[in-house]
Amino acid sequence: MKRIIQKLTVAACFVATAFTVQAQNADEVFRAAGSPHNPKVQISFNRYYTAEGLAALGKKIADAYPNLVKRVSIGKSYEGRDMWMLQITNFEKGDPDRKPGFYVDGNIHSNEIQGGEISIYTAWYLTENYGDIDFVTEMLDNRIFYIVPTINPDARNNYMQEPNTGSSPRAGMIAMDDDQDGLFDEDLPDDIDGNGSITQMRRKSPTGNMIVDPQDPRKMIAIGVDDNVPADVVRYEFLGQEGIDNDGDGQVNEDPHGYYDPNRDWAWKWQPDYIQRGAYKYPFSVPENRAVADFVLAHPNIAGGQSFHNSGGMILRGPGAEEDLSTYNRADIRIYDAIGEKGEKILPGYRYLTVYKDLYSVFGGELDWFYGSRGIYTFTNEIFTSFAYYKNNEGGRRGGNLSYDVDSELLMGDAFEPWKTFNHPTYGEIEVGGFKKNFGRATPGFMLEEECHRNMAFTLYHAYHMPNLSISNVEEKDLGGGLKEITATISNDRLMPTHASQDLKYKIERPDYISIAGVDVQAGMIVEDADFGVTTEQKVNPAKLEVANIPGDGFVKVRWIVSGKGKYTITVDSAKGGLVTK
């Protein structure tokens, strides 16, 4: 029986606005473990949203949970769009600026879109589950999340709304002259069949080196040197991506959107374009990146960071280049390893890798700026892996058939545009067809919510291990003569110290302060070895001791010699570890 497949336009795949739907009656819902059972904000996570769509969803979340969310613009894009951030914490408990902060962003590359949905999912999940799931409640009581779903809103919209391939445009929307003819973006690929995707062109040719697969009309088979092709079998030649000669220079598609890469723009080990293709004028010459950097510089409480790219199923840490290898020392690599290896468990099919060693060199990358310049433990996840299609690693053993199998078996033919005839002004009669732009790099809709949840779970695990300080023990000893010795133990029961090694090396952030009030302090000291009584005295301002670092899964001891009676207060003041008082 002939299978009839309803074709949806690409525009329908990228719905820009989520309709407001009232929560269902409680007796109509049976809760699934780990998910909001009757959310105030109804969002479909089986589709992608434009920049305006993400902004609208963020506003709905902020409006629904004003005590948990503040929505702010951290800057403007090149084309003037707001860069919306959702700041998420329990704003009624503690000073939000003094809580350990975790920064999240997505979509620095235009076609790497899943980060937008993962970011919105994270905001949605945290707010909808506050008060229902203890882990979430504790996180928002004691931490703050800074979530920017897209830091490249202009190019996100271009990818979704204009004709593109699955891999274009990578950059932002600043025009450049790629073919050096004095004109900018004047010969872009053209969507000659009007389906919203730039697919492929082929032409019948007696000297062509391809034939149609007799078992599957979607596929082309290369003719080998020893193959005997019958005379009645039609040969084809490929003509590249869809397009025409817009500028009349005898070439097709030779001046696409200018190639600059916003992930080569960050002010850490930056290199110019002639050394590393994709760099723009100078570090932070891209306005979107400058806005992020200004925010991070103004928020020293940020201890962890996460950015989302696609694809390949990778959890990446720096360094981006071997030349920067010494930046990441052994102590911090142990922390990265512990979190990254947990990520491999949370994200089946993903691999924990190092950028320069396992991929290629990157200079001026966001990942390295966050860590190298600010001492923030940061990962980049490359979203989606073919493992997800059939929950195995057989993709590479399918003889190049995996995409075709997925199209027919899982997507019912919706990923491939069938070949159709077109009268080309230069090439004459040709055929146009191939995989649509929303397939390959972008997670299919039915898999997207799982992708969002697993990547969020990894993010929350990372955020959980930001410093968590407590004054775990206070001991008093009477010294006579009206003097008393007070010894306090300050514990950190998470993986991250209050200062990364890079922070300590370059003194990026101020020391931690441990102070005592309510008594007259005669002397103050850090206890180096309690068993042997080794201390280091701070002679200036002894009531406010400066501690270089409070280690992860560790502690520091401090001691004061004081006079006076009555109650006293001990306060720990750490930029990344927060405020603790006892």
Judge whether 536 and 566 are in contact, CB under 8 Å. no
* Amino acid (one-letter) located at 164: N
Q: Is the peptide bond before 169 cis (omega within 30 degrees of 0)?
A: yes
Q: Is the peptide bond before 319 cis (omega within 30 degrees of 0)?
A: yes
Given the residues 382, 431, 451, 509, select the one marked as catalytic: 382
φ, ψ at 390 (rounded to 5°): -120, 15
**Distance, CA of 449 to CA of 147 (rounded, Å):** 18
Strand order in 512-517's β-sheet? 544-547, 512-517, 569-574, 578-581
Q: Tokens representing 495?
A: 């993986």
**Distance, CA of 116 to CA of 136 (rounded, Å):** 21
Cα dihedral value 517, 523, 527, 531, nearest 10: -120
Return the SS3 of 212. Answer: strand
Judge whether 340 and 317 are in contact, CB under 8 Å. yes
**Distance, CA of 385 to CA of 359 (rounded, Å):** 15
**Distance, CA of 491 to CA of 574 (rounded, Å):** 12
Q: Which helix (H) or strand (E) holds 343?
A: helix 330-346
* Cross-strand bridge partners of residue 580: 572
- Report which DSSP code applies to 274: T
Among the residues of 363-483, which ranges form H helices?
Answer: 366-368, 374, 387-390, 402-409, 445-464
Query: Residue 106: which of 97, 119, 93 has the closest Cα?
Result: 119
Q: Tokens representing 276?
A: 């590393």
Return the SS3 of 149. Answer: coil
- Going by their DSSP bridges, the two strands 377-383 and 302-310 should be labelled as parallel
Among the residues of 197-346, which ranges form H helices?
Answer: 287-297, 330-346
- Going by their DSSP bridges, the two strands 428-435 and 416-424 should be labelled as antiparallel
Query: Residue 452: which of 49, 56, 91, 27 has the closest Cα?
Result: 49
* Contacting residues for 148 by C-beta, under 8 A, at least 6 apart: 74, 83, 84, 85, 86, 103, 104, 105, 106, 119, 292
**Distance, CA of 429 to CA of 422 (rounded, Å):** 6
Please indicate whether residue 28 is annotated as part of the active site: no
Cα dihedral value 439, 441, 446, 452, nearest 10: -160
For tokens 């004028």, name the residue.
281
**Distance, CA of 543 to CA of 486 (rounded, Å):** 12
- Going by their DSSP bridges, the two strands 82-88 and 69-76 should be labelled as antiparallel
**Distance, CA of 387 to CA of 115 (rounded, Å):** 19
Return the SS3 of 134. Answer: helix
Residues tagged active-site: 382
